[in-house]
Each structure stands twice: as structure tokens, then as C-alpha cells.
Amino acid sequence: MLVVLRNRAYRRLFAAQVIALVGTGLATVALGLLAYDVAGAAAGSVLGTALAIKMVAYVAIAPAVGVVADRIPRRALMVTADLTRAGVALLLPFVDQVWQVYVLVFLLQCASAVFTPTFQSVIPDVLPEERDYTRALSMSRLAYDLESLFSPALAAALLSVITYNWLFTGTMLGFFASAALVVSAVLPKPVASAAPRAGGARSGATAGARLFFAVPQLRALLALNLAVAAASAMVTVNSVVYVRDVLELSAGAVALALGAYGAGSMVMALALPRVLDKVPDRTVMLRGALLLTVVFAGLGAITAAQGGSWRWPALLAVWAAFGAACSMVLTPTGRLIRRSAPPRARTGAFAAQFSLSHSCWLLTYPLAGWLGAEAGLGAAVVSLGGIALGASLLAVRLWPAREPGREPARVEHEHVALHDARPRLTGATRVAMPVATRSLRTGRPAAVLRLRARPRSAPARQDPGTR
């Protein structure tokens, strides 16, 4: 899997991602301590509001990235986001009012909402081979999981010799280092749009979301996002409740429970590159989503049990299974978007995925907390498990399978600058050329052939003139 690090551009981008993640982890720990200094006993409320602000920023800002990416070089966009995050980290130690925390957190998360989808859209261009790209996705998944384990440990070690305000300095330096690495990476030029975007900025901001609702497998991905959000919200929000209240264990056991979730995710991320070489994305992702519902059933048994020493190892196993199942869904997501979106629409598609997936978390995080506190953990398990089951079954329904020996599904698409004698144009219908239609290679107006289906005998390859 490490073979992809031989690519110099990817190696620097991956290093930038890891350093930025560590900086973000340090900021998360420091922000909790800052909230306690500013708000005292109301620190939990402040952090809860800050988390909601984070999700709102992700949902609101990410769709605009597709528009901005058409006008600003992607390297400049990522560097600007990193410098903005560094500036916010520099200001956080001087905060003494709750509203200042909210404003700076909003700015920080807006910058992250710009950086992350832009970064995700660059990697398929840097690693055009699907085999390499799959390994890059697994490494990215590992980076997120390792950060969740490493950053708190690093913060704890640093806090033994410095005050928490210095953690913000570490965050700032991390973002500056990330910006420097992005600047040093040689990025391929993105594919230019074949035609001017109609409808202005508003249309561009919603282009990625419209693509998701137009393509069957991306519609299924929306449902898969909801299933994953239900499971991850249960782990993130209620781990402390299970460990401290239900099992009556020490605070250190909370870290072990969250570590089990991360370990399950990492083990699956390491295994998936070889699996995905042989098994279709659809099979892996849908089985991962359906596995979530089985794990929820196991969690329900633990929740309903009145006692027994077996519940603690069982909870660790359930959390690890949640991590593995979520990784089965999340790791191949980039491959699915890459295949479903044309290169010129890729940034908008990744931005839409970023925004829409966080919309699911914006729903499930408060639901997991409110149901657990007001109606009990049993009600939370049943409700979120039901959401995961319904979303998984919907994804199976929305994502059509192609059985061996059957004709491919009829997908209407267009080709330009092809000769009428080409075999794959058999059965095509010539249509009037829209004014804005131009060849991707020459930029000149080109004839359009609208195809209803492709013969089975035709070669399944991308023509240079395809759009």
C-alpha cells in the first residue's frame, strides 16, 4: 500500500493532510479546555454549540467550493484555506468571550470545508491509476483513524509540560507546514469545462448535489452516508454513557472503547485494497451498510442485559465491528465518485459528498444525544438502528446490480467528434447541437450524437472525444 508514496506529489499532499489532521486534533483538545476557562460548568453547552456550528459550516460552505474551484487554482485554494486556519489558531488563545469562540470556530470550519473537498478532488488526478487511487483512499482512512488515537495522546503528553494555549501554537505551525507542502507539490492541471456554466454561481453551487440526485449509485451513496452517520453518532455521542453509567468503568475505559472503534476501521482499511481489486465497490459498500444493522442488534443485546462481566469485551467487539463496517462504506467512496463524475465536475462532486454526508451527521448527532438522555439508550439503539436498516435497504434498492450475461443498463449519454461508422454508435440518434456544445480537445463546436445503448460487443473504453 505504501507504494503510492513513491509519487512525489502525492507524498507531499499526504504529508500535508497528516500534519493538518494532527494540528486539528490538538486544537480539539485545547478548545475543550478553552471552553471550560471561558464558560466554566457550561463548557459542555459551549462545545455542543461549537459542534453544531462546525456541521452548519460544512453543510453551507462546501457546495460553493465547486464554483470557486473553477475560478481559482486548486493549489491556491488549499493554501488559502490552510493559512486561514493558521490565523484562527493564532487568535484562539486570546479569546475571553463565548461568542468569540463561536465566530472563530465558524471561520476555522469554513476553511476546512474548502480545503477537504478540494484536496479529495486533486488526488484522482495525481494518481490516475485506479489501483493506486484505491490505496491512497485506504491511507487517507488510516490517517483519520490514527489521528483520533494519536492526537489526544500527544496533547496529553504536551500538557504535562506546557499550558493548553501552546497547543494552539502547535495547531498553527501544523497548518503552516501543510500550506508549505501543498505549495511544493506539482499538481496536474484540472480538466477545463467544455462549456460556460449556465445559471451562474447558484447553479454551480448546486451542480454537485444535482449530480448526486441524477446518478443511481450516487443516490445510493446518500443513503449509505445516513447509515454510517447513525452508527458513528452512536459511538461518538454515547461511548461515555455506556462506559461510565452502564458498565461503571473508569474514564480511561472511554479511550479504550473509542480506540476499539478506530482499530476496527484501520484493520478494514488495510484489508480493503486487495479486496477491492477482486470485489466490486457495490458489494463491499452495501455489505458494510447491512453489517451495521447486525451490529446494532448486538448493541441492543448489550443494552438490554442487566449485568455480567461479558458486556465490556462485548462492547469493545461491537465498537470494533462498527468501525470496520463504516470503513467498508467510507473507504471506496472516492472511487465511486471518481467513476460517476466527469473530471471537470469532480471538485463539485466531492464538495457535495462532503456537505451531504455532514448533513446526515447534523441529524444523527443530536438525535443520539437527545434520545439517549431523554428516552434511554435502548430507545437510541432502536431508533438509530432503524435508520441504519432503512438507509441500507434503500441503498440496495437505489443501486442497480448488473448480473452476469445481462445487457448493461440503458444509460443515455453523449459523444462528440466521432465518425458515423464507429461500432459503438450503432443505434445512435443524431440530435441538434446545443449552442454551448464544444469539443473538449479543440474547443470548437462539435456535432453531438445521443446514444441510447452500447452493443455488448463494443469495446468498453473512454474515447478522447467523449464527454
CATH of domain 1-190: 1.20.1250.20
pLDDT at 74: 83
User: Residue 333's closest CA among 286, 294, 263?
Assistant: 286
pLDDT of residue 12: 92
Q: Per-10-residue mean pLDDT for the chain, 467 residues long? A: 82 90 82 77 69 81 70 86 93 87 89 87 85 85 78 75 85 93 83 47 61 86 94 86 84 79 89 89 94 95 87 94 94 88 78 85 85 86 95 93 45 44 48 41 42 42 39
Domains 1-190 and 203-401 share a fold: yes
Half-sphere exposure of 244 (CA within 13 A, CB side): 9
| C-alpha–C-alpha distance, residues 414 and 408, integer Å | 16
Beta strand ranges found along 34-141 (DSSP E): none
Angle of helix 377-398 relative to helix 216-241, nearest 10 degrees, comes to 170
- CATH fold, domain 203-401, is Growth Hormone; Chain: A; (1.20.1250)
Domain residue spans of the chain: 1-190, 203-401, 405-467
Looking at residue 362, its pLDDT comes to: 85
pLDDT in the model for residue 117? 84
Residue with cell 462504506: 329
Distance CA 262, CA 231 (A): 13
Q: What pLDDT is recorded for position 225? A: 94
452516508: which residue's cell? Answer: 225
